[in-house]
């Protein structure tokens, strides 16, 4: 079981780093292309590479390993249900960063949305880490 939890934590650390780096990278790439008067980032932007080759595989591995820990442990405590609800929002934020990569490559405005995404991701991760480390006791727990 420990190796499953280790795999879960290792994958979520890469996923979390990707989710923090992507909005910064997307906003930075857009600003640079404006400054240099370059054409918008092409369809093989580094942002797309980070999204498809690092953040998305890490997300899949973190979710599969976490689900395996969940099945092996059989934990049904309310804090874990609350955690998984927030993780669902993190998956939505992940999808949104993919949308921003497409907008970046189309030369559309991405900076305000990248800022909102970065703040949302940081708040969600802080709340998830608090729940999974503090394991608060509520209701039927
Ligand atoms: C669908 C996705 C996920 C599932 C099913 C899942 C499930 C689990 C389960 C069952 C545990 C063991 C909890 C215990 O009994 O101690 C665990 C541990 C953990 N999870 Fe997740 N998790 C998911 C996503 C995440 C995400 C996105 C994060 C962080 C951003 C995260 C952070 C952690 C941490 C830090 C631990 C270790 C807690 C400890 O040291 O006690 N998990 N996860």
Helix (H) or strand (E) holding 33: helix 2-36
> Tokens 């991701």 appear where?
121
Residue 136 phi, psi dihedral angles, 5° rounding: -60, 145
Which parts of the chain are beta strand (E)?
A: none
Q: What is the pTM of this model?
A: 0.89
- Ligand 1 close to Cβ of residue 16 (< 6 A): yes
pLDDT at 139 over 70: no
Distance 132 CA to ligand 1 centre (A): 6
Which parts of 1-138 are beta strand (E)?
A: none
pLDDT digits (tens, 9 = 90+) for 28-72: 887 776 665 655 556 678 999 999 999 999 999 999 999 999 889
Distance 81 CA to ligand 1 centre (A): 11
Tell me the DSSP string of 61-99: HHHHHHHHHHHHH----HHHHHHHHHHHHHHHHHHHHHH
Task: Specify the range with the lowest mean pLDDT, choosing from 27-31, 62-66, 121-125, 126-130.
Answer: 27-31
How many of the other CB atoms lie within 10 Å of CB of 30?
Answer: 22
């Amino acid at each position: 079981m420990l190796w499953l939890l280790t795999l879960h934590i290792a994958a979520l650390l890469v996923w979390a780093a990707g989710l923090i780096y992507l909005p910064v990278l997307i906003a930075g790439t857009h600003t640079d292309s404006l400054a240099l008067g370059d054409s918008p980032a092409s369809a093989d932007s580094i942002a797309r590479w980070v999204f498809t080759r690092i953040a998305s595989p890490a997300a899949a591995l973190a979710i599969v390993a976490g689900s395996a820990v969940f099945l092996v442990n059989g934990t049904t405590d309310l804090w874990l249900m609350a955690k998984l609800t927030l993780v669902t929002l993190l998956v939505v934020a992940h999808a949104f960063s993919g949308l921003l990569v497409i907008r970046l490559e189309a030369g559309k405005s991405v900076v305000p949305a990248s800022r909102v995404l970065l703040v949302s991701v940081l708040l969600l991760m802080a709340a998830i880490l608090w729940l999974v480390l503090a394991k608060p006791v509520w209701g039927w727990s």
